[in-house]
Amino acid sequence: GSIVTSLSKGTAVTVYSEANGWAKVSANGKDGYVSTSFLSAQNPNGSATSPPAAVVTKYVNVASGSLNMRNGASNSSSIIVGLAKGTAVKVYSETGGWAKIEAYGKTGYVSSAFLVATIPASNNNTGSGTVPPAQQITTKYVNVNKGSSLNVRKSASTSSAILTKLSSGTEVKVQSESNGWAKIQVNGVEGYVSSEFLSASKSNPAPPKEEQQTSKTMFVNVSLGSTLSMYNSVSTNASILVKLARGVEVTVYSEENGWSKIEAYGKTGYVSSEYLSETKPAAGEENAPDNKSGSANVETVTKYIDVIYGSSLNLRTAASTSAAIITKLARGTIVTVHSEENGWSRVTANGQTGYVSSQYLSKTAPFNPNTTKGTIEKVYKSYDISLNDLTKKQMAVNPQTDKKYKTYISTDAVTVTTPTSGNVNGTGLNVRGGAGTDYWVVGQVNNQDSLQILSTVKDAAGNTWYEIKYNKAWVNASPEDVAHFVDPNNFLSNTVDSLQFLKLSASANIDAGEVNERILSGKGILQGLASAFITAGDTSGINEIYLISHALLETGNGTSQLAKGVQINGKTVYNMYGIGAYDHSALNSGAQFAYNAGWFTPEAAIIGGAQFIENGYINAGQDTLYKMRWNPGSVTKNGYASHQYATDIAWAAKQVNQINNIYSLLDSYKLVLEIPQFK
């Protein structure tokens, strides 16, 4: 594991447990593990050392509500959990009015004033009026039908995210009950369940209801090479949540009027019952029902290669990424699908037969980015400043570029050591983009820096300059280059380039099923989560495609450890946008940020993270990539450039390719472009 801290010789530690040569200890307010080989019962420095304070049990005693356990000894520290009156806690130490405690398997800090040595009375009918009755923690049991389960949700609502499922007879700790919901703790997870499915004993099974449904396992049984659409309601006109391949295992909750309510890939929806079977169909066995017109929406065995525009799909000799490549199939290539199994399809294309990844096959010809199928709306915003003045204001804050320029320095600043080299005389001397002080400053050099001299030139006044080699990755951009990227007219004629004017505060109105199939399929933890991105866009007011693009970039297409989940204090946390993930400790700092924010499900991380993005720039009115980079509104209002997301002059232009690649995969979307206009 990672190093929490380093302990010097003679440091006193509290040992909680020892196993396999390791000791769990507490020292200087931090918990962790050390090798028992380096622990001693006596102070090795020879001085007397007080024994660690004994761990004692105390009880929470609050007048109402709960006692906040925090991750630090401060009211500004984040809250780990709220503790009800009467909760037993282990107290490890007390100092400065704070107690370091353990409760529900978590360690944190509470105010010592609200801990007592004995279990506090409930104070019912005492007349004192000082401490009202408090809800005591009780033990209850899940009481659902055999084979069913009870959903534990993040909040007291059937629309809230499911944290885990509990089988009948599971013991839970009930912290409170209100409006038909119980707040519980079980196996280190805290959440809410329907109170009617809890009982004081393990008897009297409850009737099946929404939160507890009788289920059975079945398999998708469609024709070879086909898929079965799962809809969000009982209609073929409803939105498609996901498409299920032949042989996929599903959980069936109910069947009615030819439709089955099922769960697959963490999603719940409806499919045609006739394309489900109790046994898994063999990979090469054609035993599915005949394809009929109507509700099943089962596809034919002719499909299209659907990869990102400009790329290709490998046709291999076997169903493995290590198999030899037969040929590369271009986007839009028609293939005949013979079979599908374990994410691979055996296909024939252009007279050659081999295997391709199934996720890159589509039943319809893929979208050509040169032919727009979506809706594009252009709006215009005027700024009371000229492009020339805007460029000057931007130049004042030294915008950067990775472009290479010819660079020059005055001969007075260099001591020549050979005909092609010299050393700098002085500190902070300017290197310019031309021979003369009228040229912009590209960068600076310092005393005794070694320079390579390329040539000698004279400026208009007859002064001598050296052309030098200036090996800096990032330098101050020229006024001409800044003017180019500031001017919107240089990017409007190209559909891709114009996406830097995409309104990030305007919904793309995407279809969840289409996004799941064409964009998020095969994208690790992000697969099937289009609805979460749509919800995130709705709640934060941010374009869903931008959020998806951001998440794909930050998570490595849904495969990063921070995206897949990290354990913090017994809970798995998720972070889809890399928020709080600092370079020196990206995994730990990003996970801790997610824990403090309460992102305990992938959906919570997508939706909650979007709100953080909103607060930074969208709420400030910088709701296009162009405005995030150049912020012309601030320049017009304040007279200087400020609050800019990046220093790279090409930053906005560099972001559009990923967004375009996503839009190019969709047939249904809406683009709103806000074009800036200047005097």
Segment 634-654 mean pLDDT:
90
More confident residue, 538 or 367: 538
* Residue 244: strand pairing partners: 228
User: Domain 216-277 has what CATH class?
Assistant: mainly beta
Q: Residue 173 in 3-state DSSP?
A: strand
DSSP 225-264: T-EEEEESSSSTTSPEEEEEETT-EEEEEEEETTEEEEEE
- Does pLDDT of 416 surpass 80? yes
Nearest in space to 570 (alpha carbons), one of 22, 1, 80: 80
Helix axes 602-613, 544-555, angle to 10 degrees: 110
Q: Which long-range contacts (CB under 8 A, 24 or more apart) does 201-206 make?
A: 201/141, 202/141, 202/143, 202/168, 202/169, 203/143, 204/143, 205/143, 205/144, 205/145, 205/146, 205/168, 206/143, 206/144, 206/145
Nearest in space to 648 (alpha carbons), one of 668, 628, 624, 662: 628
- Does pLDDT of 48 surpass 60? no
Residues 241 and 262: their CA atoms lie apart, in Å, by: 12
Neighbours of 591 (CB within 10 A): 24
> What Å distances lie between residue 330 and 300, 301, 304, 311, 333, CA to CA?
21, 19, 10, 7, 6
* Residue 109: strand pairing partners: 70, 100
CATH topology of domain 56-116: SH3 type barrels. (2.30.30)
Q: Which amino acid is at 590?
A: G
Q: How many residues does the chain have?
A: 679
Segment 123-133 mean pLDDT:
37
Q: Which amino acid is at 395?
A: M
5: Cβ contacts below 8 Å, ≥ 6 apart = 27, 28, 30, 32
Tell me: the pLDDT tens digits for 537-595?
988 889 998 899 889 878 888 999 999 999 999 999 999 988 887 756 889 999 999 99
* Domain 302-362 sits in CATH 2.30.30.40: yes
Nearest in space to 143 (alpha carbons), one of 186, 172, 104: 172
Residues 661 and 44: their CA atoms lie apart, in Å, by: 64
Of the listed ranges 141-155, 362-376, 490-504, 624-638, the least confidently predicted one is 362-376
- Supply 33's token pair: 């593990």
Is the separation of the CB atoms in 342 and 313 below 8 Å?
no
Strand 227-231 versus strand 240-245 pairing type: antiparallel
Tell me: the pLDDT tens digits for 95-110?
878 888 887 667 888 8
Report the chain's C-alpha Rg in angstroms.
Answer: 32
Query: What pLDDT shows up at residue 517?
Result: 81
Query: What pLDDT shows up at residue 296?
Result: 41
Tell me: the pLDDT tens digits for 61-90?
877 667 888 888 887 777 777 777 778 888
Residues 501 and 38: their CA atoms lie apart, in Å, by: 61
* Domain 138-199 sits in CATH 3.30.70.260: no
DSSP class of residue 489 equals G
Is the separation of the CB atoms in 388 and 480 below 8 Å?
no
> What Å distances lie between residue 189 and 85, 97, 164, CA to CA?
20, 29, 8
> What phi and psi, each to the nearest 5 degrees, are found at residue 485?
-80, -25
Tell me: the pLDDT tens digits for 433-480?
999 999 999 999 999 999 999 999 999 999 999 999 998 989 999 999
